[in-house]
Amino acid sequence: MAGAVSQAVFCLAYAWLARRASWPLAVAGGSVGFALATVVLTGFAPPLAALAGLVFLALGLAVPLMPPESRRVELVATPPPSWDLPARMVLATAFVLGLTALAGALGPRLTGLLAPFPLYAAILTAFAHALDGAPAAASVLRGLLMGLVSFAAFFLVLAATLHRGIAPAFGLAVVVALTLQGASLYVLRRPARYHS
């Protein structure tokens, strides 16, 4: 759950850098932000309620701290190159295998904090940035931030109810996550007013 804070830092760093930098620099900056937040969180192990408060506060602050949109951006996605999907699969698989191989040396806490590195989001954002520009990248990252609410809620419910049994805990966590994901999708698709 704490990894959602690091993901929020990734989103903010990438989105602000993307306004003036190319996608490789923005990915690097977002990754450094993620790493720094993870280092801070490694030594931080509060009770579940305090951690949940921190995570939801961070997510609540991250959305308005994203770069402003002065007008509604109508995005028309450029078709991805033919090697796009295989490249995503290889990168994601390599990350999972590498993290799994290092899990014993890193320990459960650090492995758990590194596991939510937004690999897929970084790939999607970088491709959107390269093909359609910084506004498209920021749009992907806003969607990620909204989705992180259900991600964090899933793990909060799971941690709070796991003592009642695996099946009930996972069932309730899935219901809560899907409900919040639906609400996030509604908010993202709701017509917004933009000012020039």
Per-residue pLDDT tens digits for 152-166:
999 999 999 999 999
Output the average pLDDT for the chain: 86
Compute CA distances 91 → 30, 68, 78, 84, whole Å.
Answer: 17, 31, 21, 11
pTM of the model: 0.80
User: Which residues, other chains included, contact 147 with Cβ-Cβ below 8 Å and sequence gap of 6+?
Assistant: 181, 184
Compute CA distances 117 → 5, 6, 114, whole Å.
Answer: 11, 8, 6
Q: Mean per-residue pLDDT for 128-148?
A: 90
pLDDT at 179 exceeding the cut of 60: yes
Q: Are 113 and 34 in contact (CB under 8 A)?
A: no
In which residue are the tokens 């009642």 written?
Answer: 164
pLDDT at 99 exceeding the cut of 80: no
pLDDT at 196: 41
